[in-house]
Structure formats: C-alpha cells, structure tokens
Amino acid sequence: MSTSTTVSPIDEVKTTPWAGGRAPFSVEYGKMMMWFFLLSDAFTFSSLLIAYGALRFSSNVWPAPDLVFQSVPGMYENGAPLVFVGIMTFILIVSSVTMVLAVEAGHRNSRKEAAGWMVATIIFGLMFLGCQALEWSHLHHDGFWWGSTPKDLQEYFHGATSRTYAQQFANLFFTITGFHGFHVFSGVVINFIILINVLKGTYEKRGSYLMVEKVGLYWHFVDLVWVFVFTFFYLV
C-alpha cells in the first residue's frame, strides 16, 4: 500500500531555489555584518600601518621612541621612557576585560551587572582619551604636530638629524593615533547608547543581550588595533 507525504506550504517554500536554503553559519545577521565592518576597518588600519612601516624601514634615520615618548605629562618632563603610553595601554586592556564581563553578564540576563561593567568600560575609554589628549598636548608643546617639527631635532634621533623624516613621523603618528582615538570615542558613545537601553530593560524584554555582544566585538577590535599601533610607533 502506497503512502503519500503531504508537504506543507511552508516546507515547500523552503525547498524552492529562491528560498536561500540552510544558513551556512549559525550567526545572527547583525553580528555577521559587524564582522564584515570590522574586516573592512582592519584593511584601513593595515594600509596606514604598512605605509608607516615602509617609511620607517626605508630610512636609517628615524625619531627614537624612547626619546620622543619619555615624559609623563604633569609629573616628569623626561627620564621616563614609554611609561605614560604603558599606562594608556594598561587602561585599554582593562577596559577590554570589563567589556568581556559585561557581555558575560548579558548572557546571564543580569541587567544590573551588565550595566555596571559597561559603565566601567566607558570610564576606562574616557580615561584613555584623556591620556591621549595629554600626550598630544605635550608633543605639540615640544614641536611635533601636523606640518611642524621641533627646531632642535638632534635629541630625538639616533644618528644624524633629518627634518623630512621627523615630519613624516609626526604626520603619520597624529593621523593614525587620531584615527584610532576616533574609534575609541565612537566606541564610548555607542557603549553609552547601549547602556541606556540596558538600564531601560530593553534587552531584558527581548530576552537577548546580543547588542551588548556586538558592541563588545567592536571594542575588542579597537583594543587589538592599539596593540599594533603601540608596537609600530612606540616600540620599533
């Protein structure tokens, strides 16, 4: 005895060539788009850092990082190489940890904890931006800026002086660190907006804190980029 299988209209639509079939990745659409955005942004940062690396390693005369970045604004004018930028880096790393904790709290649908860790992330982000503003102000006072270099370059170089290379260093430094700082500022603003929604209980009502996770991806990307910026400008 033959039996016939009844196909529901919904199942029939799913099997049509235009239905899209089964999703290749078990990833929510918005999260996938965030990954695409971060990938494109990574290309932008990569091109800027490659340009800096090409200029840096094509010259045997370049500002010495331990001489340029040896001040702690408001405390030491010199004699503390890379201490201040080390503090900046530590602040950003800690902010990444608090962001992880915010995402983890969201997975547990703990609104109070998620909000608390997001507030901490925002505070650390603002601290980093404040430190960067102090660093820029100090370098500008020393003569480093877009289109200008210190009158006496000898103390900043290992070897012979070169105003051309100092100018290239200054232009790329302020462009790349400024671009990264803009990303940190954008991350702080986005975190603040998401924080408001967390406090309002928006994601608790939805039953998902996926938006917090998406913002976390962006924030971790910004932190990761800083590792490369730190390495290229401050260590090499």
Backbone torsions φ then ψ of 141, nearest 5 degrees: -65, -35
Q: What does the alpha-carbon distance between residue 137 and residue 92 come to, in Å, rounded to a whole number?
A: 20
Judged against a pLDDT cut of 70, whether residue 92 lies above it is answered with: yes
**Res 173: pLDDT:** 94
Domain ranges within the chain, ordered by starting residue = 65-235
CB contact at 8 A, 230 and 46:
no
| 137-196 pLDDT, tens digit each | 989 988 889 988 887 777 777 655 677 888 888 999 999 999 999 999 999 999 999 999
The whole-angstrom separation of Cα 74 and Cα 32 is 44
pTM: 0.85
Contacts 24+ apart (CB under 8 A), 129-132: 129/181, 129/184, 129/185, 129/188, 131/84, 131/87, 131/88, 131/91, 132/88, 132/177, 132/181, 132/184
State which fold the 65-235 domain adopts. Four Helix Bundle (Hemerythrin (Met), subunit A) (1.20.120)
pLDDT for 48 equals: 96
Q: Which residues contact 212 (CB under 8 A, 6 or more apart)?
A: 102, 103, 106, 114, 118, 194, 198, 203
